[in-house]
Structure formats: structure tokens, C-alpha cells
Amino acid sequence: MDADFDERKSSFRITMQEITKNIYIEDQFLGVTLGVIVTPRGLIQIDAPPSPEDARSWRASLMNLGGGIERVLINMDAHPDRTLGARSMDCTVIAHEKTALIFRTRPSTFKAQGEETGADWESIPGLGSVRWAPPEISFMDQMVLHWSASPVILEYRPGPTNGSIWVHLPEEKVIFIGDTVLKNQPPFLAGSSLGGWLESIDILLDPAYKGYTFISSRGGVVNASAIKNQYDFLKHAKDKLDKVTTKKPNPAAVEKLVTSLMTWFKAPSARQKQFAQRLRYGLLHYNARQHYVPSHTIED
């Protein structure tokens, strides 16, 4: 995959897609669909490319958008695919308090080694050690940025992770939904709460959101059909996982479930192995969390 990555970079061009006036996305970077909202006060940036080099290129391209001089970066959750390049964006980082807590328990420096999780950053060559950029501002239920006449609302929507959020622009009818819905690729299950995830998707399917544009962090604009498909897949996966009662499931049973779940996605052949590993890692770790009973209880 390294060769594919180098070939991609050699012909890479930043070509933002305008969703509506002053709201743009960019889906040419590996592993994440980025967003930017242009306001009179400055730029509200949503997620960063995992490669620090790409993050610097992205930051430079934003200089042509106009707007005020201030910059903030919103992390939709703590996943490395969207947070590894945050320091290179060189601005204040905002995230949910539970995402901030994850950073407080991580080593200050990320090292590109360890288990294969099926994440996209794992195919980036030469990452080495990268210093994290922990969130400097965090919130619990909701936070509103009044950088223009239209509010930008950060909403807590757990599911993909405990600290997942959405970025909601009610006047423009646009919502950045992070990993709540992924386009034609399996979700990351290891740190998820499938019950909360299904509840969050239910919100998107509510008639109140008719006419909205939904932006996935992995795939860009998604329609109601993709949202419903994500719900059906997670419900199916939850039903299967709820039947697993042993702490260490049989490897053959896990492989059978991985093979079954992979049929939900029309994955290109080059990514079949990666996506299967994403599911395998997620299923094993989700199951382990479900059967872990701590000696004392902690809220959430």
C-alpha cells in the first residue's frame, strides 16, 4: 500500500468541494474528509489529515479562502486518522471532554507501531514519532461558536466513540457527522457503543432533518439511504455480538463473522485485507470490553 500512497501523493491536488456558501469539504486526503467553515472572524476547521506533511499542505491551501485571521480546529473524536496532523495545523483545538480525557491518558508522542487496527494512517510510510496536539478547549453537551450571523453548534453524539460529536449549522442545514455514518467501508467497532450509535443515527433519520446535507468524515456527502444502511449494519452487528457470551471467542467464529460482515461492503480488492482487519480488531476488542467488569464503577 505504500507504493499506492506515494503514487497518490505524486498526483495529489487539493480541490475543495463547496457544499454551500462558505462551507467546504476536501476528501482527497487519506482516511478523512475534512471540512472548513469560512466566517468573518476566521476559519473553523474540521479534522486534519493524518500525515503532518499533508496537514501543512492543507493549512497552506486554506489561506486562499479569505475570512478573518483567527483559526480553530475541531476534532470530531480522538481517532488517529483525524488527529495525527492536528499539531501541524498550528491553531487552537476543540473537542469533547471525553476526547480530551483520552489525550490526557496518552503518551505525549505517538509512535507508528503496535497492533494493526485497519486504520488508514497505518499505510502512511515514514510517520515515525508525532507529537499529539491535545484539545485546549472542551465541552460536555453542547458548545456554540458565534463567529458569524449563523451559529456553529458542536453537539455531543456518542456512538462511534465516547467523545464523538457533530458540527451542526442549522441555518445552512448542514451537519458534519464524523464517523456516525461511513460510506462503503466498515466502521471502527473497538471503542464504540453500539446502542448509543444506533440512537445517534435515529436522530439523523428524524423528519426534522429533512433537507439537510450530511457530511461523513469518511466519504463526504451521504444520503438517507446510506444512513439507513449504516443503521441496519450496526443493528445486525449488535445482534450478533450480543450472542457472544464468552470472554475469548473462538477465532474461527470471529473469522466467520468477519467474512459475513464484509459482504455488506463493496470494498475495492486493494482494501479487502485492511477492512477485514478493521472488523477483526474491532470485534475482538468490543467483545473484550463487553465482558470486562471493573472493580469499581465509573460513570460512562
Amino acid sitting at position 190: A
- Residue 5: pLDDT above 50? no
The per-residue pLDDT for 298 is 35
Of 109, 223, 105, 95, give the one whose Cα is nearest residue 161: 95
> What's the pLDDT band for 243 if we cut at 50, 70, 90?
confident
Asked if residue 283 lies in contact with residue 254, where contact means CB atoms within 8 angstroms, the answer is yes
Q: How do residues 47-70 score in pLDDT, each as one tens digit? A: 999 999 999 999 999 998 999 999
Q: Which domains does the chain have, with CATH numbers?
A: 2-290 (3.60.15.10)
Q: Using a CB cutoff of 8 Å and minimum separation of 24, what contacts does 13-18 make?
A: 14/57, 14/58, 14/61, 16/61, 17/220
Q: How do residues 245-261 score in pLDDT, each as one tens digit? A: 555 667 788 899 999 99
Mean local confidence (pLDDT), 130-145 = 96
Q: Helix 224-242 and helix 272-290: axis angle, to 10°?
A: 50
DSSP label of 175: E
Asked if residue 177 lies in contact with residue 203, where contact means CB atoms within 8 angstroms, the answer is no
Q: How do residues 261-278 score in pLDDT, each as one tens digit? A: 999 998 889 999 999 999
Q: Is 109 strand, coil or helix?
A: strand
Instruction: Calculate the alpha carbon distances from 196 to 78, 163, 247 in Å.
Output: 17, 11, 22
Q: How far apart are CA 48 and CA 119, in angstroms?
A: 15
- Residue 114: pLDDT above 90? no
Q: How far apart are CA 92 and CA 86, in angstroms?
A: 9
User: Model-level pTM?
Assistant: 0.90
- Residue 7: pLDDT above 50? no
The per-residue pLDDT for 73 is 98
The per-residue pLDDT for 249 is 63
Q: How do residues 186-208 score in pLDDT, each as one tens digit? A: 999 999 999 999 999 999 999 99
Q: How do residues 68-101 score in pLDDT, each as one tens digit? A: 999 999 999 999 999 999 999 999 999 999 999 9
